[in-house]
Each structure stands twice: as structure tokens, then as C-alpha cells.
Amino acid sequence: MASKVRLYVEHPLGEGQSVPLSREQAHYLFGVMRLAAGDVVSLINSVDGEWDAEVVEAGKKGGVLVCSAQTAPLQMPPDLWLLFAPIRKERTAFIVEKAVEMGAARIMPVQSAYTQSANRIRMDKLQAHAVEAAEQCGGTYVPPVDDLAKLERVLAEWPAGRHLMFCDEGMAGRSAALPSVLAAPCAILIGPEGGFSPAEREMLQTATFAHAVSLGPRILRADTAAVAALTLWQQAFGDWQ
Ligand code: SAH
């Protein structure tokens, strides 16, 4: 049997709860996936876990589902943020998708000195990529994707108590063991293809919350570096243990 279609909705889920569908959702379920009244889908909303819901009304422009039973509780990822400098469009979408699959709680695109012209990046689509990734990977939580913010500003307003795993290409070749201070709450920082500027590196080296780490002997592309850093952190401190 094919696995159930999973759908993220911005609506409370609970026993007997009816959930109205937007035009896009109706198009997806009934036009693309060819579902009809009586079929059952899986719903998530980042709050109530995963629920089975039956199609009770299926139309071209809308529809209604009714929740029957919870099939999984809400599982929050560990308190880990991913900060990254957006790169070319497909690779930025890739980073967002992988961050959701790997288990990041918040995704923060940051503009650094060597970030490619940010206005060519479709920031509005990034949250939709996070939703799709959560639907596809069995997640019950969709991490928020923040609007693009200047790295300098984000560092200046850094919250007390959270450490920053500064992935520093200048550390390439050193041991990739993570210091225990990087346990949650934590944030990972990945630079753009051009790396960090000398001023940024200096700012990061003097910030008490930032800890420079190596991702092995080779220089990774930013998208690879994001996945590698998330893997290292999850393995050391996260929910993979
Ligand atoms: N142009 C730069 C490389 C940038 S790679 C240079 O040639 O030096 C993009 C980002 O990936 C870096 O800013 C860093 O955050 C991360 N990264 C890539 N390889 C790394 C490594 N071996 N150790 C730590 N961080 C790495």
C-alpha cells in the first residue's frame, strides 16, 4: 500500500476536528494526488503531532478533512539553530530542506560581507521548502525560516546562554571534535562560498559565545558544510543518540 499523503496545515488538530483546505491544498490532494471523499491523509501542524484525517468534502477550490486519531506525538528537534549565508537558489533550497531533515529548530539566512547579491535569492519560497521537507521526512514540526538578516546585527544581538558553532574554513585540517560547551542551546554558522571576511572573522574570534570548529581537512562547499555540521552536532549532542 502506498504511504499516506502528509500535509502541513495551519489549523488545530484533535479528535473530530474539521480542517478546511485552501485552494492550493485542495488542488494538491484532489488534483495532483487524486484523492477523493473517504480517503485518509496524515496532517501535521507543528503543535499537535500527526493525525489521521478523512476527506469529507473534495472540491476544485477547497475541501474539508476531519481528524480521527493521533498517529504520532509532536517531536520537537533539539534547540539548534542553523545560520547560513544564502548561496545560489537551488543550493539555498537544498540547505533549508536538509536542515529540516537533519533536525534544526530554526533556520536563519544571514547576509555576510561575501554573500552573493541577496536580492536574487527567492527568500519567500524558503518557508515552503521547509514545509515540504517536513511533510516528506515524517517530521511533526516545521522550523521557522527567518527573513534574511545582516550577520553583523545578528551577532550584535546574540541571546545570552546560546553558544555558536562557528564553522571556520581557517580551521580546516584541525580535529573536528566539538567542545562540550556547544551542547544545546546552540547555533551553527556556515559562511558563503567566499568564506568570511577578515572583519567578520575577527568579530567571531572575539565573541565569547562563538567557538571556531573544523569540518575536516578539505574545504567543503557551503551546502555540504551545512549537512556535515548538522551531522556532527546531532551525533554529539542532539536527538540521534
Ligand atoms: N572560499 C572559502 C571557503 C568557503 S566554504 C575558502 O576558500 O577558504 C563555505 C563555508 O563552509 C565556510 O565559510 C565554512 O563555514 C564552511 N566550511 C567549509 N569547509 C570547512 C572546513 N573544512 N572547516 C570548517 N568550516 C568549513
Residue-wise pLDDT for 2-14, tens only, equals 579 999 999 999 9
Q: Which long-range contacts (CB under 8 A, 24 or more apart) does 195-198 make?
A: 195/114, 195/169, 196/112, 196/113, 196/114, 196/168, 196/169, 197/112, 197/113, 197/114
Instruction: Provide the pairing of β-strand 186-190 with 80-84.
Output: parallel
Question: Nearest CA to 25 among 47, 43, 13?
Answer: 43
**SS3 of residue 22 by DSSP:** coil
pLDDT at site 3? 76
**pTM (2 decimals)?**
0.94
Res 1 pLDDT > 70: no
Question: Which residue ranges have their beta carbon within 6 Å of ligand 1?
Answer: 167-169, 171-172, 190-191, 193-196, 214-216, 218-220, 222, 225
Summarised one tens digit per residue, pLDDT across range 186-209 is 999 999 999 999 999 999 999 999
CATH of domain 5-72: 2.40.240.20
* Sheet strands side by side (includes 80-84): 149-150, 106-111, 80-84, 186-190, 163-167, 210-213
Summarised one tens digit per residue, pLDDT across range 169-182 is 999 999 999 999 99
Summarised one tens digit per residue, pLDDT across range 206-236 is 999 999 999 999 999 999 999 999 999 999 9
pLDDT at site 89? 76
Which ligand 1 atom sits closest to the C-alpha of 218?
22
> d(Cα 47, Cα 49) in Å, to the nearest integer?
6
pLDDT at site 241? 78
pLDDT at site 121? 63
Summarised one tens digit per residue, pLDDT across range 72-127 is 999 999 999 999 998 787 889 999 999 999 999 999 999 999 987 655 566 778 99
Q: Which three cell numbers stand for residue 124?
A: 519567500
**Mutate-to-test residue for ligand 1 from 92, 220, 227, highest number of ligand atoms within 8 A of CB:** 220
How many Å lie between the centroid of ligand 1 and the Cα of residue 141?
A: 29
Res 31 pLDDT > 60: yes
Summarised one tens digit per residue, pLDDT across range 126-135 is 999 999 999 9
Q: Which residues of 149-177 are buried (b: 16+ CB within 10 A; e: fewer)?
A: eebeebbeeeeeeebbbbbbbeeeeeebe
Q: Which three cell numbers stand for residue 156?
A: 550584535
How many Å lie between the centroid of ligand 1 and the Cα of residue 186?
A: 19
Name the residue ranges covered by the structural domains of the chain.
5-72, 80-237
Q: Which three cell numbers stand for residue 220?
A: 567543503
Which one is the CATH code of 80-237: 3.20.20.140, 3.40.1280.10, 3.40.50.2300, 2.60.40.10? 3.40.1280.10
Cis peptide before 77 (omega within 30 of 0): no
